[in-house]
Chain A
Amino acid sequence: NAGVMQNPRHLVRRRGQEARLRCSPMKGHSHVYWYRQLPEEGLKFMVYLQKENIIDESGMPKERFSAEFPKEGPSILRIQQVVRGDSAAYFCASSPRRGDEQFFGPGTRLTVL
């Protein structure tokens, strides 16, 4: 069984560009979570999605950030007009049911120049 897959693993963008981060959950998992982690800091919740629905986006910045989990295909975290402060590791996790253990992907390390 493949685990949670994220791509790209590393992404470099210049200020003002768009960043698209992809997450394919484990087979059979319909719950996806996105987290951001700054160096030497803990994981900060961003958004929780279940197929085609955003369940909780209380951790998402109000502007420039959006997320989706379409019926077919991976979940996408999109950051428009990136700024240096967006540089971080972005982790995706999936679970088969709400409240179950979460399985994390390897993360995407975003660097904004």
Chain B
Amino acid sequence: SQKIEQNSEALNIQEGKTATLTCNYTNYSPAYLQWYRQDPGRGPVFLLLIRENEKEKRKERLKVTFDTTLKQSLFHITASQPADSATYLCALEDSSASKIIFGSGTRLSIRP
């Protein structure tokens, strides 16, 4: 069965730096991959979707890459701010194409 791994449970960086989060997957080639943000006590909020034929996608300070050879997606937040502190989840369509499955998330903390 397919597996998703997010690089670390927690990441702490200085305000203004670029935060880079990693999502690796195995045993499957999804048609797309999504990134969500989750704040404590709340439901996840969709951020970006990138398809297998897209190498990179940007939205304001966010950038996502999708390397189907490495089976990896990188999620970047440039000029990070304390308000960016949250848990970030990657998700991909599973092999049955009937649902998406989520990674366990990376908790990002931006210190002033």
Q: What residues make up the interface of A, taking CB atoms closer than 8 Å to B?
A: 4, 33, 35, 41-45, 48, 55-56, 58-59, 91, 93, 98-99, 101-107
Contact = CB atoms under 8 A, between A and B. Distances in A.
Q: What size tier do the contact residues of chain B reach?
A: 20 to 34
A45 B43 contact: no
B93 A99 contact: yes
Interface of B: 31-32, 34, 41-46, 49, 89, 93, 96-105
B43 A104 contact: yes
A106 B44 CA distance: 9
Contacts, number: 52
Contact of A55 (B42, B98, B102, B103): B98
A43 B99 CA distance: 13
B99 A103 contact: no
B99 A48 contact: yes
27 contacts: A4-B43, A33-B99, A35-B102, A41-B104, A42-B89, A42-B104, A43-B89, A43-B102, A44-B102, A45-B100, A48-B98, A48-B99, A55-B98, A56-B98, A56-B99, A58-B96, A91-B44, A93-B43, A93-B44, A98-B98, A99-B31, A99-B93, A103-B46, A104-B45, A106-B43, A107-B41, A107-B43
